[in-house]
Amino acid sequence: MKYKIAVAFVPLGVLFALGPIPANGQETVGVFEQPMLITSAGQNAEVQIAAVLAKRAGLNYTLSKQATAADLQNMKTLVLVLGTSLKGLGAAGLDLDKERERVMSLVTAAQKNQLPVVCLHLGGESRRGQQTDDLITETLPLAKMLIVVKSGNGDGFFTKICQSKGIPLIEVEKTADAQLPLQKAFK
């Protein structure tokens, strides 16, 4: 009997260690496999921060800011860092339509190859706007988990999408706090 009680409390303890419980109560520990491909959805600077967080977490990843379906070879998870940057798009020689097409093609290829998609929104409120929201509205419903900096979800935008699609949502206070739930989400 003691064994069964201890086992019942371990998952809850792990979830509480992550911070807020995901909106729909789904498990977010050890769900995804490595290696992962990290790319931007919107050519934002936070994609570089996501790579730093993955490195600090000891995760096996490849960073490709303009990843294509070919980059998914030998990968087990696709990580999209959400947030549109007009400066980043210009530097990459892309416009919003070309970036959207690249991202949707990548997500479609991931789904075809049965690779789960994990989304991160690390830029907070400053990385939100109509262009970002439009891209998020199209890509986030295809994700299996979202980690978002709380200030970016002040209007409940991410919560609404995640609840309607049954996507686990983890909010963190600041960008650096995303490292732990990211680390724990991977086997």
Spatial contact of 184 and 162, defined as CB atoms under 8 Å apart: no
Residue 149, SS3 per DSSP:
strand
Q: Which pLDDT does position 63 carry in this prediction?
A: 97
How large is the C-alpha radius of gyration of the chain?
Answer: 16
Tell me which of 1 and 182 has the higher pLDDT: 182
Distance CA 128, CA 137 (A): 12
Average pLDDT over residues 23-48: 82
* pLDDT tens digits along 4-14: 333 333 333 33
pLDDT tops 60 at residue 84: yes
pLDDT band of 26, cuts 50, 70, 90: low
Distance CA 1, CA 128 (A): 50
Is the Cα torsion angle 60, 116, 18, 14 positive or negative in sign? Answer: negative
Q: Which pLDDT does position 187 carry in this prediction?
A: 87
pLDDT tops 80 at residue 22: no
Average pLDDT over residues 60-80: 96
Task: Report the percentage of the chain scoring pLDDT > 90.
Answer: 72
Cα 90 to the center of its chain, rounded Å:
23
Distance CA 122, CA 147 (A): 8
Residues contacting residue 163 through CB under 8 Å, at least 6 positions apart: 23, 24, 169
For the domain spanning 2-185, the CATH number is 3.40.50
Average pLDDT, the chain: 85
pLDDT tops 50 at residue 113: yes
Residues contacting residue 45 through CB under 8 Å, at least 6 positions apart: 85, 88, 123
